[in-house]
Structure 1
Amino acid sequence: MSVEVTNETAWQIDGKIFSDLGVWVMSQMRVSTQSDLTIMFVDPDPIAQLHMRWMNLEGPTDVMSFPMDELRPGDGGTEMEGVLGDIVLCPWVAAQQALAAGHSTMEEMMLLTIHGILHLLGYDHVTPEQERQMFGLQRQLLLTFFALRQGAGARATLPAGTSDALAEWDREHGAGGKTAK
């Protein structure tokens, strides 16, 4: 399995943890070891542009998934093989959500990574039943990954003096702190 991680932000993020997480989730979902995934961290403006272009929704969002070969989870006997797709995350929005949820930005970004992978595998949360299934699975995957890594302790941080790109985006676009969810 190949998981490429790119960080185009000021955030200091250990890409290896996200690569390991992606490989582990794909293996748990029985996706072939020959499959590829890309995880990209971007600032508010690029994800807002993607959000408008592909979802016709304004403002930065937390995560977007772009499936390629429309792989689905394996069924125990077969494993799906191909290019899973791309996940684009905005650490600025993740940090805001983490603060509201009472956990770390790193935990939020890991949860969003799993959420994005599940979307790439065809999961959705449009109906209450779909939401229960998807959110339950992403929680189970995250907690199991944490248990297996015992005290990975990785953090996502910003260098001292880095300006708040999400607040700047809001000011420039007159959003008044109303980023998309």
Structure 2
Amino acid sequence: MSVEVTNETAWQIDGKIFSDLGVWVMSQMRVSTQSDLTIMFVDPDPIAQLHMRWMNLEGPTDVMSFPMDELRPGDGGTEMEGVLGDIVLCPWVAAQQALAAGHSTMEEMMLLTIHGILHLLGYDHVTPEQERQMFGLQRQLLLTFFALRQGAGAQATLPAGTPDVLAEWDREHGAGGKTAK
């Protein structure tokens, strides 16, 4: 399995943790070791542009998934192989959501990574039943990953003095602090 992590933001993020998480989740979902995944961290403007282009929704969002080979979880006997796809995350939006949820930005981004991988594997949360299944699975995967790593403790941080580009985006676009969810 290959997981490429790219950070195009000012956030200091340990890409290895996200690479390890991606490999682990794909193995748990029985995706072939020959499969590829890309995880990219971007600022509010690039994700807002993707959000408008692909979903016709305004404003930055937390995570977007772009499947490639439309892989599905393996059935125990066979493992799906190919390019899983790309996940694009915005740490700025994740930080807002983490604050509201009462956990760290790193935990939120890890949850969003798992959420994005599940979307790439065909999971969705349109109906209440789909939401229960997907959110239950992503919670189980995240808690199990945390338990196996036993307090990795890594954090996503911003260098001192880094401007809040999400607040700047909101001011420039008249969003008044209302980013898309």
Which bracket does the TM-score occupy, shorter chain normalised? Answer: over 0.9
Could you say which residue in structure 1 is the equivalent of 2:48? 48
Normalising to structure 2: TM-score of the pair? 1.00
Between the aligned partners of 1:179 and 1:156, the Cα distance in structure 2 is 20
Between the aligned partners of 1:26 and 1:138, the Cα distance in structure 2 is 12
Q: Following TM superposition, where does structure 1 have runs of at least 4 consecutive aligned residues deviating by more than 6 angstroms?
A: none
Where does structure 1 lack aligned partners over 5 or more consecutive residues? none
Between the aligned partners of 2:142 and 2:55, the Cα distance in structure 1 is 27
Between the aligned partners of 1:40 and 1:165, the Cα distance in structure 2 is 17
Between the aligned partners of 1:137 and 1:118, the Cα distance in structure 2 is 9
1:114-169: CA deviation from partner (whole Å, max 9, x where unpaired): 00000000000000000000000000000000000001000000000000010000
Find the residue that maps to 2:77 and give its secondary structure.
Answer: coil
Question: Percent identity at matched positions?
Answer: 98
Between the aligned partners of 1:105 and 1:178, the Cα distance in structure 2 is 18
Where does structure 2 lack aligned partners over 5 or more consecutive residues? none
Find the residue that maps to 1:84 and give its secondary structure.
Answer: strand
1:12-51: CA deviation from partner (whole Å, max 9, x where unpaired): 0000000000000000000000000000000000000000
RMSD: 0.2
Any residues of structure 2 matched to 1:100-179 within 5 Å, and which?
A: 100-179=100-179
Q: CA deviation at 1:3?
A: 0.0
Between the aligned partners of 1:155 and 1:100, the Cα distance in structure 2 is 17
Find the residue that maps to 2:158 and give its secondary structure.
Answer: coil
Q: CA deviation at 1:97?
A: 0.1
Between the aligned partners of 1:162 and 1:82, the Cα distance in structure 2 is 39
Find the residue that maps to 1:33 and give its secondary structure.
Answer: coil
Between the aligned partners of 1:75 and 1:61, the Cα distance in structure 2 is 32
Q: CA deviation at 1:173?
A: 0.3
Between the aligned partners of 1:166 and 1:97, the Cα distance in structure 2 is 13
Between the aligned partners of 1:155 and 1:177, the Cα distance in structure 2 is 24
Between the aligned partners of 1:115 and 1:143, the Cα distance in structure 2 is 13
Query: Aligned residue pairs: how many?
Result: 181
Q: CA deviation at 1:78?
A: 0.1
Q: CA deviation at 1:102?
A: 0.1
Between the aligned partners of 2:118 and 2:149, the Cα distance in structure 1 is 21
Q: CA deviation at 1:82?
A: 0.0
Q: CA deviation at 1:110?
A: 0.0
Between the aligned partners of 1:151 and 1:142, the Cα distance in structure 2 is 12
Between the aligned partners of 1:65 and 1:29, the Cα distance in structure 2 is 17
